[in-house]
Amino acid sequence: MSALPAILPHPVTTTPRGRALEALIGHTPLLAFRQLTAHLPHDVAIYAKAEWTNPGGSVKDRAAASIIRQAERSGDLRAGRTLLDSTSGNTGIAYAMLGAARGYPVRLFVPANVSPQRIAILRAYGAELTLTDPLEGSDGALRAVRQLAAAEPERYFYANQYNNPANWQAHYLTTGVEIWEQTGGQVTHFVAGLGTSGTLMGTGRRLKEYRPSIQIVALQPDSPFHGLEGLKHMQTAIQPGIYDGLFPDWQLAITTEAAHEMARRLAREEGYLVGISAAAAMAGSLQLAEELAGRGEPGVVVTLFPDSAAKYLHEPFWAE
C-alpha cells in the first residue's frame, strides 16, 4: 500500500469543535407502513419520522443541540462549567455525545431503573451519573438535580430541559419544517408522546403556522404507573414549564401492554425495530387513523419514532 502524499491535492476543511457531529442531526427519513395499515382506506395514511438515524440515536439530539447552542451564545455554557441536567436517558445521551465533541463535562441525574443499555452508553461517553430513586421516576431525578443546581450555580450550567424554550424551538425550526416538506404539505394530524413535551409543542406550533387546521394530538400513558419509559402521565407528574395543556387538539391515552404489542408487530410485520415510546406513538396513530376511517374522513397522520429498540431488547415482552 502506498503512503499518502505529503500534501493532499485538496485541503481538508475543518469545522469548530463539535459542529461536524451536530451537522448530522435532523433530516430524518419519513417511514411508510405496509401491513399495519393495509386495512385502512386509500385516503387515510400513517407516516413516522425515524429519529434513531440521528447520531446519538434519538430525537433528543435535536433539543440537546439547540440547548447547548443557545447556552453558548448567552455565555451560560463556557469553558470551566459542567453541563448539568436530569434525564430518563436519551437527552442525557445527546448531552454526553455533544459534550464530548465540544469539550464540556456532563453530569446527569438519572432514575436508577432506566435501561442498562442507556446507563452503559452514558458512561461510555464519560458522563458523571447520579442514580436516583427508581420509584420516583423522572420527577425524582428532576427534584434532585434542582437542589444541586441551586447549591452550586457557578460550577454548573443547568440545562433544565423541561423548562428551557430552546427545547421546543429545536422542533419548531427543524422537525415541523421537515414534516411539512416531506409530506408536500398534506399532513392533517401530528401525534407525539409527552415527555418534556418539546417535540409536540415545537413541531405543533410550526405545523399550525403552515395550516391552522392541522390537528395536534398529545399521547401519554393511561396511568401514573406505567412502563412507557420517557413518557409522562401529565395529570400526576411535575408538568414541564414548556408544556401548554390547552395547545393539543386531541389527547390519547395508551396502555403499556398496547405499546408492547405494537413494538412486536412493528418488528415482525414491518421490519421496524423501535423503542417503547415509538411503539406507543404508532399505537395511538393507528387508533386515530381508524377513527378517521370510521367517520369516512381522509387524513395523513404523521408521528415520530423517538428511538430504536437497541436500548430495550432486554425487556421480556419481545419474546411473548
Residue 197 catalytic?
no
> What digits encode the pLDDT tens for the residues 25-36?
999 999 999 999
pTM for the full model?
A: 0.92
CA 207 to chain centre: 18
Structure confidence at residue 1 (pLDDT): 43
By mean pLDDT, which of 6-10, 50-54, 86-90, 130-134 is the weakest? Answer: 6-10
Q: How far is it, in rounded angstroms, from Cα 270 to Cα 232?
A: 27
pLDDT band at 5 (very low <50, low <70, confident <90, very high): very low
Structure confidence at residue 88 (pLDDT): 85
> What digits encode the pLDDT tens for the residues 34-52?
999 999 999 999 999 999 9
Contact predicate 123/110, CB 8 Å: no
Average pLDDT, integer, range 162-170 = 98
User: What are the residue boundaries of the structural domains of the chain, listed by start?
Assistant: 19-54+168-319, 60-158
Terminal-residue alpha carbon distance, the chain: 52
* Interior/surface letters 172-200, b for 16+ CB within 10 angstroms, e for the rest: bebbbbbbbebbeeebbbbbbbbbbbbbb
**Within this chain, domains 19-54+168-319 and 60-158 share the same CATH topology:** yes
Q: How far is it, in rounded angstroms, from Cα 77 to Cα 73?
A: 8
Q: Which of 49, 60, 232, 311 is catalytic?
A: 60
- The answer to whether domain 60-158 has CATH 3.40.50.1100 is yes
Q: Which of 66, 197, 277, 285 is catalytic?
A: 277
> What string of DSSP letters covers 116-140?
HHHHHHHHHTT-EEEEE-GGGHHHH
Collect all residues with Cβ–Cβ distance below 8 Å to 217 and sequence separation of at least 6. Answer: 189, 190, 191, 192, 248, 249, 250, 251, 252, 284, 288
Query: What 3-state class would DSSP assign to 312?
Result: coil
Residue 208 catalytic?
no
Q: In the sheet where 156-158 sits, what is the strand order? A: 128-132, 106-111, 82-86, 156-158
Structure confidence at residue 16 (pLDDT): 63
Average pLDDT, integer, range 200-216 = 98
pLDDT band at 2 (very low <50, low <70, confident <90, very high): very low
> What digits encode the pLDDT tens for the residues 227-267?
888 898 999 998 999 999 999 999 999 999 999 999 999 99
**Sign of the dihedral through C-alpha 206, 296, 267, 183:** negative
Residues 19-54+168-319, CATH architecture = 3-Layer(aba) Sandwich (3.40)
Average of per-residue pLDDT values in the chain = 93
Closest C-alpha to 192, from 213, 155, 217, 156: 217
Average pLDDT, integer, range 138-157 = 96
230's torsion region: left (phi>0), alpha (psi -120 to 50) or beta?
left
